[in-house]
Structures are given as C-alpha cells and as structure tokens.
C-alpha cells in the first residue's frame, strides 16, 4: 500500500513538471506567433492548449483517487491538495499563452504588436518562459533558491508591465485605439502568467518549509 502511495505521489510530481514544461513551450510559441504574425503557429498553440487542460484533468483525477484510496494525512495530504492548486495555476498559464495566440490569429495578417512596444513585450515573454522553465526545475529539485529567483524574475516582469502603460501615456504614442486595447491586454496576459508562476513557487516553498511566505 505504502509503495503504491509513493508511486502515486511521484506520478503527480512528474505530471506537474510536464505541465510546467508544456506551458513554457506554449508561451515560447505563442510569443513567436504574435511577434511574427504566424497564424499557423498560433493555431498550433491554441490546439496544444487542450493537451495542457487534459493533463490537468488527469492529474486532478489521480490526486482525488489517491485521497480516496490512501487517506493521506499531514504533509502528504498537504502535498496532494497543493498539487490541485498548482495544476490549476499551470492550466491557467496555458490559457494565457493561448490568449496571445488567439490575438495573433485575430489580427492576422496584421501584426498585433506595434514596433514601439515590441522589445518590451519580447523581454516580458522571455521572463515568462524563464519563470515556467524554472518552475519545472523547482518542482523537480525543490531547491528553494529557485523559488526566490522566480519571485525576482516576476518583479522584473511587473516593472516592464508598468513601463508599457508609461509608453502608452507618452505623446509619442500614436497607435489607434484598437491597437492600444491589444497592447494593454497583451501586457496583462504576460504579467498574469508570471503571477501564476509565483503562486506555484510559493506553494512549493510552503510544502517544503511548512511556512507561508509573505506576499511581495
């Protein structure tokens, strides 16, 4: 019984790592589709998101079965409940990558991202990809130094997000209103992706230390 239980926990951990790898890839491809107005790539990202959703459903079913069959307590119980939370955050990260791809598709053959803002968004997307990749490493190694790094990457992301609204507020901003909308939503999606990454990192920290990290 104990052996089966350890195998279940192991599998849940591996599913989380796989989800984090897939959302890293989804963000990488979504950003490429948006930056290059590549509608085929956008289409692929949108289709692939269903697989991330499926992974979440599968992980959640496994977690619930483990709760039912093994009746875990203490740290094992918290680990499983925590996994349900983390899978929800990772699934949402996949959705946000999909939103970017959907925007690329909606505006095709036009590029949704004006050149004045393209470099900032590129940096934000790179931070998102790094956050998702580091999450995979964090879930694998439970090395809490990685969690701190993720929180730091997200701070940079937040600064870039704020800078987008400063750029839009400048007189030199001459884009039309629908483009301004696209830019503000894109910035929001890129920023939220990082927030969810931080949620997962905090959850891992909590599971390792038993202490909830203060926000900020």
Q: Which residues bind a second copy (CB under 8 A)?
A: 64, 67-68, 71, 73-74, 77-78, 81, 84-85, 88, 165, 168-169, 173, 175, 177-178, 180-181, 184-185, 188
Tell me whether residue 78 or residue 142 sits nearer to a second copy (CB atom).
Answer: 78
CB 63 within 8 A of CB 13: no
CB atoms within 10 A of CB 91: 21
Measured in whole angstroms, how far is the alpha carbon of residue 116 from the centre of its chain?
25
The least CB distance from residue 145 to a second copy, in Å, is 27
Contact predicate 197/132, CB 8 Å: yes
Task: Report helix, strand or coil for 40.
Answer: helix
Least spacing, CB of residue 178 vs a second copy, in Å: 5
Tell the smallest beta-carbon distance from residue 32 to a second copy (Å). 24
Closer Cβ to a second copy, 145 or 169, answer by number:
169
Minimum CB distance to a second copy, residue 149 (Å): 25
CA 54 – CA 52 distance, rounded (Å): 5
Nearest residue (CB) to a second copy, 6 versus 57: 57
- DSSP string covering 115-167: HHHHHHHHHHHHHHHHHHHHHHHHHHH--HHHHHHHHHHHHHHHHHHHHHHHH
Do residues 138 and 123 make contact, with C-beta atoms less than 8 angstroms apart?
no
Q: How far is the CB of 74 from a second copy (least distance, A)?
A: 7
- Report how far residue 43's alpha carbon sits from residue 163's, in angstroms, rounded to the nearest whole number: 30
Q: Which is nearer to a second copy, 78 or 137 (CB)?
A: 78
120 versus 130: smaller Cβ distance to a second copy:
120
> Closest approach of Cβ 9 to a second copy, in Å?
16
Q: Which of 6, 180 has the CB closer to a second copy?
A: 180
């Amino acid at each position: 019984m104990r052996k089966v239980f350890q195998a279940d926990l192991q599998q849940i951990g591996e599913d989380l790592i796989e989800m984090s790898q897939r959302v890293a890839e989804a963000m990488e491809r979504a950003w490429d589709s948006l930056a290059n107005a590549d509608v085929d790539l956008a289409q692929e990202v949108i289709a692939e998101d269903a697989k991330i959703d499926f992974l979440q459903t599968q992980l959640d079913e496994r977690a619930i079965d483990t709760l039912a069959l093994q009746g875990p307590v203490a740290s094992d119980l918290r680990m499983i409940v925590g996994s349900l939370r983390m899978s929800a955050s990772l699934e949402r990260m996949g959705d946000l990558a999909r939103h970017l791809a959907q925007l690329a598709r909606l505006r095709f053959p036009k590029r949704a991202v004006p050149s004045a803002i393209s470099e900032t968004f590129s940096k934000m997307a790179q931070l998102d990809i790094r956050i998702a990749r580091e999450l995979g490493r964090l879930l694998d190694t439970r090395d809490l130094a990685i969690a701190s790094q993720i929180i730091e990457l997200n701070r940079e992301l937040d600064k870039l997000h704020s800078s987008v609204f400063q750029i839009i507020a400048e007189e030199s901003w001459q884009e039309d209103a629908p483009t301004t909308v696209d830019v503000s939503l894109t910035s929001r999606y890129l920023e939220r992706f990082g927030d969810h990454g931080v949620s997962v990192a905090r959850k891992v920290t909590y599971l390792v230390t038993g202490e909830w990290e203060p926000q900020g």
